[in-house]
Structure 1
Amino acid sequence: MFAYRHAFHAGNHADVLKHLVLVQLLQHLNQKEKGYRVIDTHAGAGAYSLRSEQANKKLEWLDGIGRLWERKDLPKGVAAYLDEVERFNGPGVLKNVPGSPTLIRQLLRPQDELHAFEVHPTDLRALEKLMAEVKGVKVHLADGFTSLKALLPPPTRRGLVLIDPPYEIKTDYARTLAAVREALTRFPEAVVAVWIPQLQTVEAQQLPQRLRNAVKGVAKKGWLDAQLSVAAPQDGGFGLLGSHMFVANPPHTLGALLAQELPWLAEVLGQYEGAKGVLQAGA
């Protein structure tokens, strides 16, 4: 089991990878005028203070976004992500980390929409406050996994589904796989992005391959799997070693960008000599 509340982990290495990819996907969608729909199945609170008690308990952000913030040699994708973080905080300031729904909101245009799902009461209230009266954004008190059916396909036939559960229980892995199948069955052109923790558990280790098998021949533009491993395995099998971002129907430019930037991220964020960034892709 992976004990998880995002406030304790905001801004860590997994956030960096997830949000770097998310920003690239949104920027690609923005290249065409036609509107699109984003579905965030596990939206969380939307933003997290780096001065909170939770963030300061483990200080994970120091080995994530903290290692990147003042660097001047950022590659293109990392720089685009940090630009959005700075946009949320203000010039030169790093007090808060925007969550996925906030990054999405910042990049949405008037013709686009976001459906953000959350079931945790505290996080839901924070998200509702953050998104109050924002045009095109709807916050739902509902299970994001089971809500895909009603929202896919979007009328414009353009869309992004972000699946980022906490994986606190083993059934999250099976439900993630089922949700990807559901999304692509209803909307084969959908860009589907899935965050996966790198853990020493069978479920976590098997999910990337199970996703590849599930989308093969279904996702019209294939898939890619970006893996960033930064920490050494621990005795007892605990701890987050890294993470994956799996993308079905990725933009044609994303693979080349990640192939260049994943090794750089591994070098900068790595916590042991075996740190690595690996990209795999398929049709």
Structure 2
Amino acid sequence: MNYRHAFHAGNHADVLKHIAVLALCDALTAKPAAAFALDTHAGRGLYALDSNSAQRTGEAEGGIGRLMAEAPKHPAITRYLSAIRACRHDHGPTAYPGSPWLLAHALREQDRIAACELHPEEAKQLESVFARDSRVAVHERDGYGAMKALLPPRFGETRLNRGLVLIDPPFEAQLEEFDAALGALRDALTRWPQGTYAFWYPIKLRRSLQPFYRRAATLPAKSSFVAELLVRADDSPLRMNGSGLLILNPPWQLDQTMAGVLPLLAKVLGEDAAASGRLEWLKRED
């Protein structure tokens, strides 16, 4: 799976991921202390849904296009659609924000963001998006390596105790990507155990993910759950039938937010009767 994001911006996976990102940011900003966000695979930060790449797949029509048309009533969905409209107000009617743009949109002046992108052309675009935003540091580097280098986060001499690490890899290594991500998460949790971590993954055949679920449950987080959206049956290894998020150390009530969102997304974005949403706890805090 070679997931160059310009081809897939605004699809059903983005909808799930970005609703969760904003909910996580809102939990961080509910308290006055400064927070830190690390986006390990940031992409270019901003996309045009009328570009040749986006038009070639047409995936946004079945994702953000369909959701904006129906706009089901839920505070987290309303929050997300409001962010999309804010992005389009600033960047044009076909703009779609990547996760670093949403982080910058939702976080505050006292917060800090590190956005990592390994591909030089994407990193250059990312730098241009945030050229005037001093809160955002763009790093042209491997995101897993950045987790070692940048955690625990500091701002000057001050250690930041609250924050989010978003891991959204392109899955070019396919199932081997899970090994890299789980290893990076285990290491990061030993150095910054209080951080919240969100790892996005594609779903083709869900049964092939059973080893991932078992290993994720052993990570040294206080609590963890998976939130998954299928838009069709998970019975084909040839296409992405849905996606999920592994959330480690989730903030209070995030599970309730996602549990309310998932069936609405399945109803609006689902392509057949097998569409579904699922939230399952892997570990609950004692």
User: Shared topology, TM-score over 0.5?
Assistant: yes
| Alignment gaps of 5+ in structure 1 | none
SS at match of 1:111: coil
| CA drift at 1:7 | 0.5
CA distance in 1, matches of 2:71, 2:114: 35
| CA drift at 1:234 | 6.1
The match for 1:245 is: 245
Contact map agreement 1:232 1:271 (CA 8 A) in 2: no
The TM-score with structure 2 as length reference comes to 0.92
CA distance in 2, matches of 1:201, 1:22: 23
| CA drift at 1:183 | 1.5
For residues 57-136 of structure 1, what are the structure 2 equivalents within 5 Å? 57-90=56-89, 94-136=93-135
CA distance in 2, matches of 1:70, 1:201: 29
For residues 162-207 of structure 1, the C-alpha deviation after alignment (integer angstroms, 9 at most, x for no partner) is 0010111143221100111112111111100000100238765532
SS at match of 2:258: helix
Contact map agreement 1:194 1:247 (CA 8 A) in 2: yes
CA distance in 2, matches of 1:262, 1:103: 20
CA distance in 1, matches of 2:149, 2:171: 24
Task: Give yes or no for the alignment of 1:160 onto 2:172.
Answer: no
| CA drift at 1:17 | 0.4
Contact map agreement 1:200 1:238 (CA 8 A) in 2: no
Q: Aligned-residue CA RMSD in angstroms?
A: 1.7
| Alignment gaps of 5+ in structure 2 | 154-158
| CA drift at 1:94 | 4.2
Task: Give yes or no for the alignment of 1:194 onto 2:195.
Answer: no
Contact map agreement 2:39 2:100 (CA 8 A) in 1: yes
CA distance in 2, matches of 1:63, 1:187: 38
Contact map agreement 1:20 1:78 (CA 8 A) in 2: yes
Identity of aligned residues (%): 40
For residues 134-182 of structure 1, the C-alpha deviation after alignment (integer angstroms, 9 at most, x for no partner) is 1211000111101112221220211110001011114322110011111
The match for 2:156 is: none
For 2:152, the aligned partner's letter is P
CA distance in 1, matches of 2:55, 2:71: 26
CA distance in 2, matches of 1:144, 1:258: 26
| CA drift at 1:61 | 0.6
For 1:96, the aligned partner's letter is A
The match for 1:53 is: 52
| CA drift at 1:124 | 0.8
CA distance in 1, matches of 2:210, 2:78: 30
SS at match of 2:47: strand
